[in-house]
Amino acid sequence: MSPMPPSTNGPSGEPLLAPSFEEFLTWDTLAFPVMPALAAFLAAAYIVGATRLWAQGRRWSVIRTVCFLLGCALLLIVTGTRIDAYGLRMLSVFIFQQLTLMMVIPPLFILGSPGTLLLRATPHRFGGKIVLRAALFGLRSRLGRAALHPALVVPLMILSLFGLYLGGVANIFLASWLGHIALEVGFLIVGVVVATPLVSGDPLPRRTSFVARIFDAVVEMQLHAAFALVLIFASTALIPFFNSPPPGLGVDPLQDQRLAGTLVWTYGELPVVLILIITLVRWQRQDTVRAARASKRADAEGDPDLDGYNDYLQSLQSRR
């Protein structure tokens, strides 16, 4: 007789059917729809801000808008459908949620430049002035500068993968729906903190060099690969909470764990590779712009180094 699955205290629509595409995408509202509500609020606020600029005849990128709203849609899907319920019984589904919340949604949010939109679209009077002051205070604060330090990327990724699962923290939080929601919120926050220095084009209190961005991206890829190998090649199920799924799901915990490792190595790596490519393109573009400016300046004012070298050659010629 198979052991009973661990109980999850609180409102939970327990998955009873075998996982399928239709089951995953079935809308399933919970008693505490924190993340779906957050997705709806962020989308509404962004649309209001963009519409305000367009109504004033001011430009705002449609591509940025699409990126941000796509992030909101993904947030709504991975936390407002039965994916959320299956994530409490299948490690692979929970890992899929984590990777989406940490690696996919934050870059989409950041590419939408919400900070720039906030500064441009918020009215400079009444409540809008308070919002702008609070945003600027947070941006310029020591805490804001510390949170965006590139040195935080590696320890945050280690804690979010090895510390959370192999350290037993996940078993504690997943025992309740509130803990489950807390993990989802934490994944999203960590993703934003990690991705902002790598992707953001908004004005930041700390600008991360391209060398540091590339280093962080490469280290992230190595950490994903290492964690994936641990899950794939482990001979036993490593996370006790997921060891006893309901019999109706027809899930083998060890095979499900290997699927989770495969997701980490593939689905989790792809956004980092894209970030790395974007970083290299931006670096090349910056060098091109700087070279063009230097060439124009040299044409207008002369190049001191080149002029000095020419004078040196002329002095050698005059000595002959």
Does the residue 254 lie in any domain?
A: yes
**227: containing domain:** 21-310
CA distance 312 to 298: 19
d(CA 239, CA 250): 18
In a domain, 265, yes or no: yes
Place of tokens 């590139």: 150
Question: What confidence score (pLDDT) does residue 309 get?
Answer: 52
Mean pLDDT per block of 10 residues along the chain (320 residues) reads 44 69 78 87 95 92 96 95 89 95 94 88 76 73 73 86 90 87 93 85 72 85 92 91 86 93 92 86 79 66 58 61
3-class DSSP state of 27: strand
In a domain, 77, yes or no: yes
Q: Is residue 2 part of a domain?
A: no
Residue with tokens 């519409």: 51
Instruction: With respect to residue 8, please indicate whether it lies within any of the assigned structural domains.
Output: no
Determine contact, residues 83/97, Cβ cutoff 8 Å: yes
Query: Could you tell me if residue 1 is inside a domain?
Result: no
Question: Distance (Å, rounded) from C-alpha 100 to C-alpha 96?
Answer: 6
CA atoms 249, 253, 255, 260: torsion sign: positive
Which pLDDT does position 10 carry in this prediction? 45
The Cα–Cα gap between 133 and 81 comes to 37
* Residue 10 falls inside a structural domain: no
Cα separation, 148 vs 153, whole angstroms = 9
Helix (H) or strand (E) holding 281: helix 269-301
Q: Say how many domains are in the chain.
A: 1
In a domain, 241, yes or no: yes
DSSP character at residue 163? I
281 Cβ neighbours under 8 A, 6+ residues apart: none
What value, to the nearest 5°, has the Cα angle with vertex 53 and ends 49 and 55?
A: 115
